[in-house]
């Protein structure tokens, strides 16, 4: 038994010497010594997998022993699985030809940050805060803070601002039960509603006062900080529940 | 029966019974289609059907369409033109790019694979080859250099033919005997080749497959070619003649045979040189006109107001268009050739700043060399893989092997992210410094780390308006980050393999990426799929750069060629060969006329885009050139390399007095003067830091970046 773990080249196991020779043949001269171990591990694992597969194939074919055809078949199947190679050249040329035939799309002017539709962006929040339904005040007005969406204009009607109630059309909405499905960087904060400007919407009716966020936030300097241009009004409240059904799943939260 | 079908086809082909061959092939194709094109039949013995089956199943529809043209193209491709490969074959096969290449590639695959079946006696291969060698070595000096170009492609194709037909021992002895004769710059390829000893090995190697299916281009003068043809035909060396006809494309030119030095400068790529007609398309290399705009800003800007707002950086010797002229530069693309984003107010402000800085710019030259400021990344543990600096030199980004992207502020002004929406609604939007007020002071820091990639980040690029950052990584995605919120906005998935380089267009909105799948893709930030796919390289695309007018994209690849692509229609308009190793850096001159490229062979090559010629070779570096940059007015070319040096070259002198008359453009080569030493203005060594990135500030100070490596 080899007492030394760090074998010098002379006393390295034969497999390690073979691996070092392979590396040398392929022109790799500089490598850390652990590379040989990693390569050997890979080689053992690969060969074992292939041979096991080959055994299965040969027993399936009711052969008495594993032969070269089984091994070949095993290699082929594994190659398709684990080692994918880039598409062949004619395929690439074909799709290139198709793609390059369409003319370049025109660019809409002044459309803010030019990003793909929201579902292809990574701008959606990946968390959601649970609603507090058990509060005493049934008019658990949820005051949602406006979202800073750097993304495109969202399709959902907005949630309102938390703003000092100014003379403009800023009001706090009550939103009960309706999930705040969001696109854009938004977060909702639960505050027991005690705002004076609460409309007298009853808690049962999931009416949302859609509030127009100051469009003047689109400053003259063209930094588009939208907090959701709202276009739809109450009529779309119901659609809140219908849209994005897959995200309307905190009904179970509401008990 | 499949085998007999193929054998009959070959017999018909050999007997020049083309029409009957076409008919039989057409019917046989239908049969092949019915039997299904599943990939699993690769192991089948019939190479022609295997070739058909090797086409991925997804192409079924396309194949139906091209089936009709297949026999026609196959017939033409294999035409035995007694006059040799000069004229007709050139016109019928592999001419043109973009659209028609697919049709020719399909017959190529099946024809070539089945051509490998026409074997001569394998034991005689060595004799054929040594006979040819003897002939070439005994030929006249002036022809010998040109004819020696044949050795390498013939060697490889003969070897591959032996391997394909499973004559392992003959292949091995053939390799042993002749591989030492090849040129030194092919040694890497030969090493790969030596590991392909069985037919099964060939199937997995995409590069080798591409090599076999594309024609190796040789440029030989007419005299030398006549000599060769006479010899091959009279000695009944049919095997070599077959291979020459099947796999080589001999681009004949009239004129003096080239010298060894000229040839050595141009060869080296995986597919030989470039055909002359590959470089004949018109390229609009001029710059786009800067738009006029009034700059009603501060009073100090009055001097900027009076000009037309055109910071035209032209070389002193450029002929016609002055900076105040309204004439359209004939070499410039029309303004609306490709849609470009409109100029926003912030962009106009930026341009004004640019002009002001340009006025204070140092004019560089051999007497006035730039100062170099080096940014060393310490403690990067050799993980620094990509660097970029914004145009106004305010931020620097590093991409690392641990998949992070780190942004630093170079100026004393710290990096801030935008306030949350709550706070934003509180600020006064009408105030003058609203741009400052939207920034959240609590988040100010010098460094921002961006997490998101799942593999080493190989390329980074700032957008010209400094709002966005791109990064591409080994995980196959290109990510767009916002520099206002320092979060990731989009992940563009298209390459499924490592993406080696990415760059924003000089006008923003578009960006290009190139990767391991051998294509470069053009994207727009608001499309989740690429707009253009630039396919044609034989190996990985390692470097991608936009032309200053944003109408063209240059890609450098591991197949040792550089291709210039037209953004409008995706066509390849230029192919530049000459490097002997994968290309790692590209730089366009500011006037758009020239391209400088650097590769692992340590040479920097200069190319004239309009004529499609190599116009300079800068020797001096001893290791891979990873960074190239022209100064702001194009007078100096800076190159940074793995040999820990930055070298400055005189670009004005390199590009003057070019003999680009009709003769040289017709023959496609130029006499390169050996003036690297004259052009070298300075060599600056770092302690032990390879130079990864170079950047000229707007005032022509040179910034360089690299990671300190302690060995």
CA distance A205 to chain B (A): 27
pLDDT in tens, B215-225: 888 888 888 88
pLDDT at position B1: 66
- What's the rounded mean pLDDT across residues A13-37? 91
Domain map of chain B by residue range? 1-30, 120-273
Report whether pLDDT(B472) > 90: yes
pLDDT in tens, B449-460: 999 999 999 999
pLDDT in tens, A150-185: 444 444 444 444 434 444 433 344 444 344 443 444
Q: What percent of chain A has pLDDT over 90?
A: 27
Q: Residue B382: which pLDDT band, with cuts at 50, 70 and 90?
A: low
Chain A CB contacts of B213 under 8 Å are 89-90
Q: Residue A228: which pLDDT band, with cuts at 50, 70 and 90?
A: very low
Q: Does A185 touch chain B (CB under 8 A)?
A: yes
pLDDT at position B442: 82
Q: Residue B659: which pLDDT band, with cuts at 50, 70 and 90?
A: low
Judge: B204–A79 Cβ closer than 8 Å, yes or no.
yes
CA distance B235 to chain A (A): 37
Q: Which range, of A160-164, B143-147, B461-465, averages the lowest pLDDT?
A: A160-164
Is A22 a domain residue?
yes
- What's the rounded mean pLDDT across residues A83-87? 81
Q: Does A127 touch chain B (CB under 8 A)?
A: no
Considering its fold, how many domains does chain A have in total? 1
Q: What percent of chain B has pLDDT over 90?
A: 36
Under 8 Å CB pairs connecting chains A and B tally to 195
In B307-346, the residues whose Cβ lies within 8 Å of chain A are 338-342, 344-346
Judge: A94–B98 Cβ closer than 8 Å, yes or no.
no
Report whether pLDDT(B312) > 60: no
DSSP character for B583?
Answer: E
Q: Please name the residues in contact with A81: beta carbons below 8 A apart, sequence gap of 6 or more.
A: none
Q: Residue A71: which pLDDT band, with cuts at 50, 70 and 90?
A: very high
Report whether pLDDT(A77) > 50: yes
Range of A69's domain? 14-90
State the fold for domain B120-273: 1.25.40
Is A6 a domain residue?
no
DSSP character for B181?
Answer: G
pLDDT at position B127: 83
Q: Residue A198: which pLDDT band, with cuts at 50, 70 and 90?
A: very low
B529: phi then psi, degrees, rounded to nearest 5: -120, 155
Q: Does A5 touch chain B (CB under 8 A)?
A: no
Judge: A104–B568 Cβ closer than 8 Å, yes or no.
yes
- What's the rounded mean pLDDT across residues B459-486? 94
| Mean pLDDT of chain B, nearest integer | 79
pLDDT in tens, B486-537: 999 999 999 999 999 999 999 999 999 999 999 999 999 999 999 999 999 9
Distance CA B651, CA B607 (A): 12
pLDDT at position A219: 42
Higher-confidence residue: B118 or B646?
Answer: B646
Q: Which range, of A125-139, B33-47, B276-290, B326-340, averages the lowest pLDDT?
A: B33-47
Distance CA A164, CA B636 (A): 58
pLDDT at position B83: 36
pLDDT in tens, B393-436: 999 999 999 999 999 999 998 888 888 877 788 877 777 777 77
pLDDT at position B236: 64
Chain A residue with CA closest to B534: the answer is A96
pLDDT at position B385: 93
Report whether pLDDT(A87) > 50: yes
Judge: A104–B531 Cβ closer than 8 Å, yes or no.
yes
The closest alpha carbon to B195, from A137, A108, A25, belongs to A25
Q: Which range, of B36-40, B226-230, B675-679, B696-700, averages the lowest pLDDT?
A: B36-40
| Mean pLDDT of chain A, nearest integer | 66
Judge: A148–B420 Cβ closer than 8 Å, yes or no.
yes
Candidate ranges B184-193, B217-226, B425-434, B624-633; pick with highest mean pLDDT: B624-633
pLDDT in tens, B270-306: 888 888 878 888 888 888 887 765 554 443 433 333 3
Judge: B425–A114 Cβ closer than 8 Å, yes or no.
no
User: Looking at the whole model, is its pTM more than 0.90?
Assistant: no
Q: What percent of chain B has pLDDT over 70?
A: 79
pLDDT at position B487: 92
- What's the rounded mean pLDDT across residues B329-339? 86
Residue for token pair 């790799």: A28
Q: Does A158 touch chain B (CB under 8 A)?
A: no
Chain B CB contacts of A116 under 8 Å are 490, 525-528
Q: Residue B255: which pLDDT band, with cuts at 50, 70 and 90?
A: confident
Higher-confidence residue: B662 or A226?
Answer: B662
Cβ(B363)–Cβ(B633) below 8 Å: yes
Report whether pLDDT(B76) > 50: no
Residue for token pair 């409109």: B342
Chain B CB contacts of A50 under 8 Å are none
pLDDT at position A196: 40
- What's the rounded mean pLDDT across residues A217-232? 42
Chain A residue with CA closest to B430: the answer is A219
Q: Does A76 touch chain B (CB under 8 A)?
A: yes
Candidate ranges A170-179, A189-198, B191-200, B313-322; pick with highest mean pLDDT: B191-200
Please work out, in degrees rounded to the nearest 5, the angle formed at the alpha carbon of residue B549 by the alpha carbons of B546 and B550. 45
Helix (H) or strand (E) holding B629: strand B625-630
Judge: A151–B487 Cβ closer than 8 Å, yes or no.
no
Distance CA B711, CA B709 (A): 6
The closest alpha carbon to B148, from B136, B157, B138, belongs to B136
Q: Does B623 touch chain A (CB under 8 A)?
A: no
Report whether pLDDT(A117) > 60: yes
pLDDT at position A3: 40
Report whether pLDDT(A130) > 50: yes
Q: Residue B119: which pLDDT band, with cuts at 50, 70 and 90?
A: low
Decide the pairing of beta strands B372-377 and B702-707: parallel
Q: Residue A215: which pLDDT band, with cuts at 50, 70 and 90?
A: very low
**SS3 sequence of chain A:** CCCCCCCCHHHCCHHHHHHHHHHHHCCCCCCCCHHHHHHHHHHHHHHHHHHHHHHHHHHHCCCCCCCHHHHHHHHHHHHHHHCCCCCCHHHHHHHHHHHHHCCCCCCCCCCCCCCCCHHHECCCCCCCCCCCCCCCCCCCCEEECCCEECCCCCCCCCCCCCCCCCCCCCCCCCCCCCCCCCCCECCEEECCCCCCCCCCCCCCCCCCCCCCCCHHHECCCCCECECCCCCCCHHHHHHHHHCCHHHCCCHHHHC
Chain B CB contacts of A123 under 8 Å are 487, 489
pLDDT at position A197: 40
Give Dmax over CA atoms of chain B in angstroms: 91
Q: Please name the residues in contact with B520: beta carbons below 8 A apart, sequence gap of 6 or more.
A: B512, B513, B514, B533, B534, B537, B541, B544, B553, B555, B565
B432: phi then psi, degrees, rounded to nearest 5: -70, -35
Q: Does A162 touch chain B (CB under 8 A)?
A: yes
Higher-confidence residue: A22 or A197?
Answer: A22
Beta-carbon count within 10 A of B1 CB: 7
- What's the rounded mean pLDDT across residues B73-82? 37
Is A39 a domain residue?
yes
Candidate ranges A8-17, A90-99, B134-143; pick with highest mean pLDDT: A90-99
- What's the rounded mean pLDDT across residues A220-249? 45
Candidate ranges A55-64, B192-201, B249-258, B355-364; pick with highest mean pLDDT: A55-64
Q: Residue B664: which pLDDT band, with cuts at 50, 70 and 90?
A: low
Distances (CA, A) of B32 to A207, B38, B46, B116, B117: 65, 11, 11, 20, 19
In A34-63, the residues whose Cβ lies within 8 Å of chain B are none
Candidate ranges A110-124, B314-328, B462-476; pick with highest mean pLDDT: B462-476
């Amino acid at each position: 038994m080899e007492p030394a773990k760090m074998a010098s080249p002379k006393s390295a196991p034969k497999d390690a010497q073979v691996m070092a020779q392979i590396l040398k043949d392929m022109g790799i001269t500089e490598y850390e010594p652990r590379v040989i171990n990693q390569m050997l591990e890979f080689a053992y694992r690969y060969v074992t997998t292939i041979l096991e597969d080959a055994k299965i194939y040969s027993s399936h074919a009711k052969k008495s022993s594993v032969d070269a055809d089984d091994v070949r078949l095993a290699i082929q199947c594994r190659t398709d699985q684990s080692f994918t190679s880039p598409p062949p050249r004619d395929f690439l040329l074909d799709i290139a030809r198709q793609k390059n035939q369409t003319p370049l799309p025109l660019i809409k002017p002044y459309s803010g940050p030019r990003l793909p539709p929201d579902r292809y962006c990574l701008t959606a929040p990946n968390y959601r805060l649970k609603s507090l339904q058990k509060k005493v005040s049934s008019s658990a007005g949820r005051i949602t803070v406006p979202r800073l969406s750097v993304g495109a204009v969202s399709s959902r009607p907005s949630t309102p601002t938390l703003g000092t109630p100014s003379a403009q059309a800023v009001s706090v909405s009550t939103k009960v039960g309706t999930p705040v499905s969001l696109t854009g960087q938004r977060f909702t904060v639960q505050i027991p509603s005690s705002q004076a400007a609460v409309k007298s919407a009853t808690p049962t009716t999931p009416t949302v006062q859609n509030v127009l966020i100051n469009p003047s936030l689109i400053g003259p300097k063209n930094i588009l900080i939208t907090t959701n241009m709202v276009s739809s009004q109450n009529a779309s409240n119901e659609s809140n529940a219908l849209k994005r059904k897959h995200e309307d799943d905190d009904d179970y939260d509401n008990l | 029966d499949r085998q007999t079908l193929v054998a009959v086809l070959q017999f018909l082909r050999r007997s020049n019974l083309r029409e009957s061959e076409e008919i039989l092939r057409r019917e046989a194709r239908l049969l092949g289609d019915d039997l299904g094109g599943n990939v699993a039949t690769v192991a089948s013995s019939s190479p022609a059907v295997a070739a058909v089956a090797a086409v991925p199943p997804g192409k079924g529809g396309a194949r139906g369409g091209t089936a009709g043209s297949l026999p026609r193209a196959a017939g033409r491709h294999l035409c035995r033109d007694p006059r040799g490969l000069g004229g007709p074959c050139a016109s019928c096969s592999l001419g043109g790019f973009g659209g028609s290449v697919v049709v020719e590639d399909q017959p190529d695959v099946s024809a070539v694979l089945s051509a490998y079946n026409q074997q001569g006696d394998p034991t005689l291969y060595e004799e054929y080859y040594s006979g040819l060698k003897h002939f070439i070595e005994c030929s006249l000096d002036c022809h010998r250099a040109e004819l020696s170009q044949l050795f390498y492609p013939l060697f490889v194709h003969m070897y591959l033919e032996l391997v394909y037909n499973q004559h392992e021992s003959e292949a091995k002895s053939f390799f042993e005997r002749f591989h030492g004769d090849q040129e030194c710059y092919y040694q890497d390829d030969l090493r790969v080749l030596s590991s392909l000893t069985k037919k099964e090995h060939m199937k997995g190697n995409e590069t080798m497959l591409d090599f076999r299916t594309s024609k190796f281009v040789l440029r030989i003068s007419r005299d030398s070619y006549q000599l060769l043809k006479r010899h091959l035909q009279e000695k009944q060396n049919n095997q070599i003649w077959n291979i020459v006809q099947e796999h080589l494309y001999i681009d004949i030119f009239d004129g003096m045979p080239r010298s060894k030095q000229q040839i050595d400068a141009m060869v080296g790529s995986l597919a030989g040189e470039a055909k002359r007609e590959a470089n004949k398309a018109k390229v609009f290399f001029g710059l786009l006109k800067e738009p006029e705009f009034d700059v009603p800003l501060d009073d100090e800007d009055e001097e900027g107001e009076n000009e037309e707002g055109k910071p035209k950086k032209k070389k002193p010797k450029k002929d016609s268009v002055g900076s105040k002229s309204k004439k359209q530069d004939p070499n410039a693309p029309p303004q609306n050739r490709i849609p470009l984003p409109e100029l926003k107010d912030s962009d106009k402000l930026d341009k004004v700043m640019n002009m002001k800085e340009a006025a204070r710019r140092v004019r560089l030259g051999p007497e006035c060399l730039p100062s170099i400021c080096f940014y060393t990344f310490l403690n990067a543990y050799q993980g620094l893989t990509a660097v970029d600096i914004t145009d106004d030199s305010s931020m620097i980004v590093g991409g690392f092997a641990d998949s992070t992207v780190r942004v630093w502020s170079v100026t004393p002004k710290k990096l801030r992210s935008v306030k949350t929406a709550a706070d934003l609604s509180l600020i006064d939007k009408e105030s003058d410094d609203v741009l400052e007020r939207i920034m959240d002071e609590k988040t100010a820091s010098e460094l921002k780390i961006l997490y998101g990639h799942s593999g080493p980040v190989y390329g980074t690029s700032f957008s010209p308006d400094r709002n966005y950052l791109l990064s591409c990584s080994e995980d196959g995605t290109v990510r767009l980050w916002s520099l206002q919120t320092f979060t990731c906005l989009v992940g563009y998935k298209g390459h499924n393999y490592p993406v080696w380089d990415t760059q924003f267009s000089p006008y923003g909105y578009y960006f290009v990426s190139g990767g391991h799948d051998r294509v470069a893709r053009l994207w727009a930030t608001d499309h989740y799929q690429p707009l253009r796919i630039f396919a044609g390289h034989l190996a990985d695309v390692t470097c991608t750069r936009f032309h200053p007018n944003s109408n063209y994209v240059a890609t450098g690849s591991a197949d040792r060629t550089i291709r210039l692509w037209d953004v409008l229609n995706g066509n390849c308009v230029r192919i530049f060969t000459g490097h002997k190793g994968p290309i790692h850096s590209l730089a366009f001159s500011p006037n758009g006329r020239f391209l400088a490229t650097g590769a692992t062979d340590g040479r920097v090559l200069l190319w004239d885009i309009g004529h499609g010629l190599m116009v300079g070779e800068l020797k001096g570096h001893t290791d891979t050139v990873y960074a190239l940059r022209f100064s702001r007015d194009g007078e100096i070319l800076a190159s940074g390399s793995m040999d820990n040096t930055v070298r400055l070259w005189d670009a004005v002198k390199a590009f003057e007095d070019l003999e680009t008359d009709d003769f040289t453009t017709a023959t496609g080569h130029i006499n390169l003067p050996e003036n690297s030493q004259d052009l070298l203005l300075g060599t600056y060594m770092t302690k032990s830091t390879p130079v990864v990135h170079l950047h000229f500030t707007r005032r022509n100070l040179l910034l360089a970046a690299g990671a300190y490596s302690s060995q």
